[in-house]
Amino acid sequence: NFMLTQPHSVSESPGKTVTISCTRSSGSIASNFVQWYQQRPGSSPTTVIYEDNQRPSGVPDRFSGSIDSSSNSASLTISGLKTEDEADYYCQSYDTSNHVVFGGGTKLTVL
Amino acid sequence: QLQESGPGLVKPSETLSLTCTVSGGSISSNTYYWVWIRQPPGKGLEWIGSFDYSGSTYYSPSLNSRVTISVDTSKNQFFLKLSSVSAADTAVYYCARGSLWYNFDYWGQGTLVTVSS
């Protein structure tokens, strides 16, 4: 099985842009879709990006997702940061055996 | 909607049993996976296992020997059993619905299960 590695934490100022990476340890990042979840304290996770770069209805277009085969990683970019974006973010994918893998999570601080 | 239920306290070496009740849609739909995910206090998300409309089950390799997921389509419920629990199994347990590409679009509110004597 593979692992997804995320930075433990990132911080940025309101109005700025931040990118959170998610690197796949083995196999191609492009082989299986990547999802991104936002989790605020005390709440269940919610999807902010699905199928690499799709945004669910209701998620602002400040959120975008991409994959980069050269670095075998996926990225979540949040532009025009707001204090309400402060949360934990998790990437997630799966393999051909229908095993699901989560990244370790990234704590985003907006200060 | 999904709602987890079950004991909040389980003794070490015993079996943790949880129920997920699904409302607003059929658990028999061939469009979705149904999953259990857990989150130890202060830590990240961990996939426990899934099942699909055909009844096939998929388990985390690290938990495979202790996990059973089952379903009762007549009640629109699915279940988690985790045997031989220890303090390391203390976590918030979530049930969720996943698309065919494993986008978990609906989650339960989660239920905290503490393993302690």
| pLDDT one-digit tens code per residue, B11-65 | 999 999 999 999 988 888 888 999 999 999 999 999 999 998 888 999 999 999 9
Instruction: Answer whether B15 touches A (CB < 8 Å).
Output: no
Of the candidates B113, B77, B74, the one whose C-alpha atom is nearest the C-alpha of residue B92 is B113
Contact pairs from chain A to chain B, CB under 8 Å: 64
**B33 vs A contacts (CB less than 8 Å):** 98
**B54 vs A contacts (CB less than 8 Å):** none
Is the pLDDT at A105 greater than 90, yes or no?
yes
Inspect the interface and report whether the beta carbons of A97 and B58 lie closer than 8 Å: yes
Does residue B86 sit in helix, strand or coil?
Answer: coil
Inspect the interface and report whether the beta carbons of B105 and A1 lie closer than 8 Å: no
Is the pLDDT at A57 greater than 90, yes or no?
yes
Inspect the interface and report whether the beta carbons of B61 and A50 lie closer than 8 Å: no
**Cα–Cα distance, B37 to B76 (Å, whole number):** 19
